[in-house]
Structure 1
Amino acid sequence: MAEAAPRTESVGTVVVAGAANLAIAVAKLIAGLLSGSAAMLSEAVHSVADTTTEVLLYAALRRGARPADPRHPFGYGKESYVWALLAALFTFVAGAGFAVTHGVTTILVHEHSGDYLASYVVLAVSFGIESVSLARAVRQVRRESRRWRTTPRRFLRTTADTTVKAVFLEDSAALVGLLLAAVGVALSQLTGDELYDGIASILIGLLLLVVATTLAYSNVSLLVGRAVPGRLRREIEDELTDLPTVRRIDTLLTMQLGPDDVLVAAKVDFADEATGADIEAAADEAERRLTGRHPGIRYVFLDPTRSRPGSGGDARFTQDPGGSPPTT
């Protein structure tokens, strides 16, 4: 039940963003057709791409939340990253590709725009709607960062919930894109030169390219099997070494199985005098402590191992996983 609230909140954030983007896409398309502005049409495609992205993110949340079954004993958490990756690729191809190519075409052809008033009205209304959607995403990011006792910036960098990360980045990019479109349309109107409108369209495309690349990289990393952030890993290590019968942790491995599922596996050197019953009790206590303190930890596996020659008795050795995410 501890995971239900954040998961439900992520669904709500995605739904709100999707509804906002759909309404804005229609308005931008009408304004773009009336004005002939390349930046407005690019913004319309931008919103269409964002709307499609929200649909894919919704699928990611629903399909990734399915319970484990005999064929998928660790659940379907990683499937959410597949759908989120598809969303990032769609933004890359449809959003960024159209905006850049249409901007280049506008610069080369220099077609004159029509009615500018419609563009300004839609841009202003769109800015207000996108701000509401972004505000919801920001509230969730702040709430989740407090839950994990970290800063919002670090939470966004290391979170395994790529849906809220995607909504935050896309809504932020949408506001910047609206400002770029407004500047491009205004300069084209003042100078009578469509060069600025085309440049604005290209900049919107490059902005989408940065967002899509960032999200794609994050989802690929999680699909491959990313470790938990450094601070959480150290807390797990401390919980294990605090067990009475544990002398040393030889190897500690962690992996994000999904936005809310973490696997912990460790090779543990127990005290020589520990009996089989003691080891079983320690394993149960380790699982109880870790899952109680960190609800996202779903699986805990401890492998008793022999003492290493020359380990120095009670000296502790922990394997450095290498390439782990920045500490939070």
Structure 2
Amino acid sequence: MSAEGGTKAVVAALFANLGIAVTKFVAYGLTMSSSMLAEAIHSVADSGNQVLLLVGGKRASREATPQHPFGYGRQRYIYAFIVSIVLFTVGGLFALYESYHKLQHPEPITAWKWVPVTVLVVAIVLEGLSFRTAIKESRGPKGKASWAEFVRRARVPELPVILLEDFAALVGLVLALFGVGMTLITGDGIWDAIGTGMIGLLLVAVAVILAVEMNSLLIGESATEENEARIVTAITGGGEVDRIIHMKTLHLGPEELLVAAKVGIRHDSTAAEIAQGINAIEVRIREAVPIARVIYIEPDIYSTER
């Protein structure tokens, strides 16, 4: 369900950004506004990012091979990390360069003055619809967590990426509208350059946040606190084991979890009883946490000297 919701949000954002990019480039061609150019490049970068997320999802769905026995699930993290690099370089750094250039040579908007304002207002509406789709698809996975907690704790990369991109796009459009509006009101092109610079700083900040979060997922994150609690209950809830000696979990992909646990058993248990107990534990874990695809349970006799 998370993958479907993430794909829907990505596709909605892709179509919105493609249309918006074309209109922004037209507006830039007519007005030569640096804010419009920065926003146009921003939309192109976002469109490319959404394509990357779709490609990552497709490649991650491949079956496991002898060379990659745990599958390709983490490719979704890799492509999401590439997204942060694209947003930083193509979006943020380009906008900062364009702002620096326009600060040296500010130019007022003298023709087609109504075009950039109209384009930006329409773009805000379209981005708002895309952002609404991302919010709607994220409500289920988010649960009771705050939006900031959801971005930090989510193991599915597409929804946090689209949420942050759409949020940055909306704020960037407001900043562009500010820069263009002040330029039209004052006749001073420096406001256009200032708006472009603020867009660049915004995109760099969002790109850094994404890079940090995706880096953590690439290294390997454990199950969420809620899922770990369910796994512990599943292991200890049937009476087959005395205790969990230690347990480790690892996301092999957004929807594939590895569970490894050493459990304490009674010293007089037979091999058949141990095997039956482990099988029962595995069944309960998969019922409690369906994404627990790879489970290793090691029986041992607990000793306080360990």
2:159 aligns with 164
Alpha-carbon deviations, 1:23-48, whole Å to 9, x = none? 10110111112111111110001100
> Out of 51, 54, 58, which is 1:55 matched to?
51
> Out of 115, 119, 130, which is 2:127 matched to?
130
1:256 equivalent in alignment to 2:288: no
Cα deviation for residue 190 of structure 1 reads 1.3
Alpha-carbon deviations, 1:213-258, whole Å to 9, x = none? 1111111111111112223222222221223121121211011111
> Out of 139, 142, 157, which is 1:142 matched to?
139
2:115 aligns with 118
- The separation in 1 between residues aligned to 2:146 and 2:207, in whole angstroms, is 23
- The separation in 1 between residues aligned to 2:190 and 2:272, in whole angstroms, is 77
Alpha-carbon deviations, 1:34-82, whole Å to 9, x = none? 1111111100011000000000000111111222222222111011111
1:174 aligns with 169
1:81 aligns with 77
1:109 equivalent in alignment to 2:105: yes
- The separation in 2 between residues aligned to 1:62 and 1:267, in whole angstroms, is 35
Alpha-carbon deviations, 1:164-183, whole Å to 9, x = none? 11111101111111100001
Report sequence identity in percent. 34
The alignment's TM-score, normalised by the length of structure 1, stands at: 0.89
> Out of 263, 271, 280, which is 1:276 matched to?
271
Show structure 1 runs of 4+ deviating over 4 A.
149-153
Q: Is the CA contact (8 Å cut-off) linking 1:250 and 1:268 kept in structure 2?
A: yes
- The separation in 1 between residues aligned to 2:194 and 2:273, in whole angstroms, is 69
Q: Is the CA contact (8 Å cut-off) linking 2:108 and 2:184 kept in structure 1?
A: no
Cα deviation for residue 153 of structure 1 reads 4.2
- The separation in 1 between residues aligned to 2:108 and 2:243, in whole angstroms, is 73
Q: Count the aligned residue pairs.
A: 305
Structure 2 residue identity aligned to 1:201: T
2:188 aligns with 193
- The separation in 2 between residues aligned to 1:191 and 1:35, in whole angstroms, is 16
Structure 2 residue identity aligned to 1:159: A
Structure 1 residue identity aligned to 2:56: A
Q: Is the CA contact (8 Å cut-off) linking 2:234 and 2:288 kept in structure 1?
A: no
1:306 aligns with 301
- The separation in 2 between residues aligned to 1:6 and 1:99, in whole angstroms, is 33
2:38 aligns with 42
1:66 aligns with 62
2:285 aligns with 290
1:16 equivalent in alignment to 2:2: no
CA shift in 2, pair 1:73/1:277, >3 Å: same
1:92 equivalent in alignment to 2:88: yes
Q: Is the CA contact (8 Å cut-off) linking 1:116 and 1:185 kept in structure 2?
A: no
- The separation in 1 between residues aligned to 2:168 and 2:92, in whole angstroms, is 12
Cα deviation for residue 132 of structure 1 reads 1.1
1:240 aligns with 235
1:228 equivalent in alignment to 2:223: yes
CA shift in 2, pair 1:71/1:238, >3 Å: same
Cα deviation for residue 159 of structure 1 reads 0.9
Cα deviation for residue 155 of structure 1 reads 2.7
Structure 2 residue identity aligned to 1:224: I
CA shift in 2, pair 1:285/1:155, >3 Å: farther
- The separation in 1 between residues aligned to 2:113 and 2:236, in whole angstroms, is 67
Structure 1 residue identity aligned to 2:155: A
Structure 2 residue identity aligned to 1:271: R
SS of the counterpart of 2:294? strand
Structure 2 residue identity aligned to 1:269: G
Q: Is the CA contact (8 Å cut-off) linking 1:256 and 1:263 kept in structure 2?
A: yes
1:325 aligns with none
Q: Is the CA contact (8 Å cut-off) linking 2:109 and 2:187 kept in structure 1?
A: no
